């Protein structure tokens, strides 16, 4: 439940449109619902502005399905990250609206249309190998109600490719930059725009990349002002923060 829904519920009680018992029934799962293996945070949207997101990694297919089944009763949009195809098929059996982004490994369910922002988030990726993280970021940003511009394969090895899309990048309210290898793209873009840059290091690269640590350290040590950094491969975290900024 968000603030507007609770306000409408209280107004309905006040105006005798529903009785107190009916209102209590709608509130009985607040602030959380205990499913035994998980406690669903029904106050998340009330506190933070967005409903709880399901991190599917480490969960069983049945657990993901049961969490989604309960969340469907709240008529909120649902996002599951790091989901397998098997999880998606289990969710699809109980919810026809469920969609799966195979590359980004996300499950999305749209129960209500969020008004899209006038401003947009630019998601910029260095290479095609970074696309799984790109897709996770894009799906997250979209279901949170943001317009998104996706720009891919513009890494520093062929930097002229970046310049051809610079007008779109500069027009964004916030820029997510996704790169593996040495992670240089975040610093380059940070020096070219006057908007917040959220850098996402990816685990793409040969042995000395150390599973993304080289890109992470490069981004953390960026000399470009305005660059902040999230965890390795964390497209979701970058998009969530970008959404907050885009809606300020």
Domain membership of residue 2 (yes or no) is no
Q: Same domain, yes or no, for 204 and 144?
A: yes
Domain membership of residue 19 (yes or no) is no
Q: Same domain, yes or no, for 152 and 174?
A: yes
Does residue 156 register a pLDDT over 70? yes
The mean per-residue pLDDT over the stretch 79-106 comes to 94
Question: If pLDDT is split at 50, 70 and 90, which confidence band does 25 have?
Answer: low
The whole-model pTM stands at 0.82
Domain membership of residue 3 (yes or no) is no
Question: If pLDDT is split at 50, 70 and 90, which confidence band does 71 have?
Answer: confident
Q: Same domain, yes or no, for 86 and 153?
A: no
Q: Same domain, yes or no, for 64 and 134?
A: no
Question: If pLDDT is split at 50, 70 and 90, which confidence band does 9 have?
Answer: confident
177: Cβ contacts below 8 Å, ≥ 6 apart: 124, 125, 126, 185, 186, 189, 190, 197, 198, 199, 200, 227
Q: What's the confidence (pLDDT) of residue 16?
A: 84
Q: Same domain, yes or no, for 62 and 139?
A: no
The mean per-residue pLDDT over the stretch 82-89 comes to 95
Kindly provide the residue ranges of all beta strands, DSSP E only, lying in 119-196, ordered along the sequence: 120-125, 147-151, 174-179
Q: Same domain, yes or no, for 61 and 124?
A: no
82: Cβ contacts below 8 Å, ≥ 6 apart: 55, 56, 57, 105
Q: Same domain, yes or no, for 205 and 229?
A: yes
Q: Same domain, yes or no, for 195 and 96?
A: no
Does residue 46 register a pLDDT over 60? no
CATH number of residue 136's parent domain: 3.40.50.1970
Question: If pLDDT is split at 50, 70 and 90, which confidence band does 179 have?
Answer: very high
Q: Same domain, yes or no, for 214 and 172?
A: yes
Tell me the per-residue pLDDT of 209-244, one tens digit each, with 9 for 90 and over: 999 999 999 999 999 989 999 999 999 999 999 999
Indicate the residue among 64, 80, 109 that finishes a domain: 109
Indicate the residue among 88, 109, 130 that finishes a domain: 109
- Return the closest-CA partner of residue 99 out of 113, 74, 79: 79
Q: Could you give phi then psi for residue 122, rounded to 5 degrees?
A: -95, 125
* More confident position, 212 or 44: 212
H/E segment holding residue 240: helix 235-246
**Cα–Cα distance between 98 and 88 in angstroms, integer?**
8
Q: What's the confidence (pLDDT) of residue 12?
A: 84
Question: If pLDDT is split at 50, 70 and 90, which confidence band does 62 have?
Answer: very high
Q: What is the mean pLDDT of the chain?
A: 88
**Cα–Cα distance between 203 and 201 in angstroms, integer?**
7
Number of C-alpha atoms within 13 angstroms, CB side, residue 205? 22
**Cα–Cα distance between 210 and 204 in angstroms, integer?**
9
Q: What's the confidence (pLDDT) of residue 47?
A: 59
Domain enclosing residue 133, as ranges:
120-246
Q: Same domain, yes or no, for 124 and 149?
A: yes
**Cα–Cα distance between 12 and 27 in angstroms, integer?**
14
Indicate the residue among 109, 137, 152 that finishes a domain: 109
Domain membership of residue 8 (yes or no) is no
Question: If pLDDT is split at 50, 70 and 90, which confidence band does 193 have?
Answer: very high
Q: Same domain, yes or no, for 37 and 144?
A: no
Q: What's the confidence (pLDDT) of residue 27?
A: 64
Q: Same domain, yes or no, for 125 and 101?
A: no
Give the pair of three-digit tokens for residue 147: 């317009």
Tell me the per-residue pLDDT of 120-141, one tens digit each, with 9 for 90 and over: 999 999 999 999 999 999 999 9
Total number of domains constituting the chain: 2
């Amino acid at each position: 439940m968000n603030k507007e829904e609770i306000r409408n519920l209280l107004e309905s009680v006040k105006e005798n449109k529903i009785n107190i018992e009916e209102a209590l029934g709608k509130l009985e799962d607040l602030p959380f619902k205990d499913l035994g293996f998980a406690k669903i945070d029904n106050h998340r949207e009330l506190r933070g502005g967005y409903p709880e997101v399901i991190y599917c990694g480490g969960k069983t297919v049945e657990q993901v399905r049961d969490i989604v089944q309960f969340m469907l009763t709240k008529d909120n949009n649902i996002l599951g990250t790091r989901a397998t195809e098997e999880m998606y098929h289990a969710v699809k059996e109980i919810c026809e609206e469920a969609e799966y982004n195979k590359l980004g490994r996300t499950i999305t369910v749209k129960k209500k249309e969020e008004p899209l922002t006038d401003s947009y988030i630019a998601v910029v990726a260095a290479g095609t190998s970074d696309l799984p993280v790109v897709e996770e970021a894009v799906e997250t940003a979209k279901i949170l109600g943001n317009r998104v511009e996706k720009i891919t394969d513009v890494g520093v090895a062929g930097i002229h490719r970046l310049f051809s899309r610079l007008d779109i990048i500069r027009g964004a309210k916030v820029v997510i930059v996704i790169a593996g290898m040495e992670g240089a793209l975040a610093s380059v873009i940070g020096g070219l725009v006057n908007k917040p840059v959220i850098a996402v290091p990816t685990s793409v690269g040969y042995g000395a990349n150390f599973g993304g640590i080289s890109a992470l350290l490069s981004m953390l040590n960026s000399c470009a002002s305005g660059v902040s950094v999230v965890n390795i491969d964390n497209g979701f975290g970058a998009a969530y923060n970008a959404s907050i900024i885009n809606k300020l």
